[in-house]
Amino acid sequence: MRFRSLPHLVRRFFGSLRARRPRPRDQIDIAAILHGEAARLFAAQRPMDQHHALRTARQVEIAAPHRPDLVRAALLHDVGKAHSDLGVVGRSLASLCALARIPTRGRFAAYLDHGRLGAADLAAAGESGIEVAFAAHHHVTESPAAIDPSDWALLRTADGE
Ligand SMILES: [Fe+2]
Ligand SMILES: [Fe+2]
């Protein structure tokens, strides 16, 4: 996981404090897209991560209304954060460790590795293609070889992480 700057971390910290679980009508929309294990992985996320995933998916949906695969990738990209089960303060500390290149282990390491962990969960749940690729590499600017660079840029911009 890469981090851009301290100001970015501060913005993310305060944004996370405001985040709430999706409202009932949003949960209905999510249930129409995610089923089975994918739905379970989404629901296992903390409310702030569900909020972030939904916001990301809404932005993708507006920009690419006929691309359900991209919307799905946006909804699922951070499911790996459930492995660390860290709150806002713990995440900020883990991110600061990464920024300062301080070695981490345990839940901090799991948080910083949430892309790979989430991609593994999604692959085990039967997901593939851009859903798994975006979960695995969503902190990387360059698109993987098999992924359209404009799709990647759209997802990355919507994620804003
Ligand atoms: Fe992430
Ligand atoms: Fe994200």
pLDDT tens figures, 102-134:
999 999 999 999 999 999 999 999 999 999 999
- The region, left, alpha or beta by phi > 0 then psi within -120 to 50, assigned to residue 145 is alpha
**Ligand nearest to the Cα of 15, by number:** 2
The mean of the pLDDT values for the chain is 93
**Ligand nearest to the Cα of 12, by number:** 2
- 2 CA distance to ligand 1 middle (Å): 10
**Ligand nearest to the Cα of 54, by number:** 2
Q: Please identify every residue whose CB atom is under 5 Å from ligand 1, which is an ion.
A: 78
Taking the mean position of all CA atoms in its chain, how far away is CA 151? 16
- 102 CA distance to ligand 2 middle (Å): 22
**Ligand nearest to the Cα of 48, by number:** 2
Q: What is the pLDDT of residue 117?
A: 98
Of 131, 130, 127, 137, nearest to 161 by C-alpha is 137
- Structure token pair of residue 53: 């995933």
Taking the mean position of all CA atoms in its chain, how far away is CA 34? 15
Q: Which residue has the higher pLDDT, 21 or 130?
A: 130
- 65 CA distance to ligand 1 middle (Å): 23
- 34 CA distance to ligand 2 middle (Å): 17
Q: How far apart are CA 143 and CA 8, in angstroms?
A: 22
* Domain layout of the chain by residue ranges: 6-159
**Ligand nearest to the Cα of 135, by number:** 1
pLDDT tens figures, 45-67:
999 999 999 999 999 999 999 99
**Ligand nearest to the Cα of 81, by number:** 1
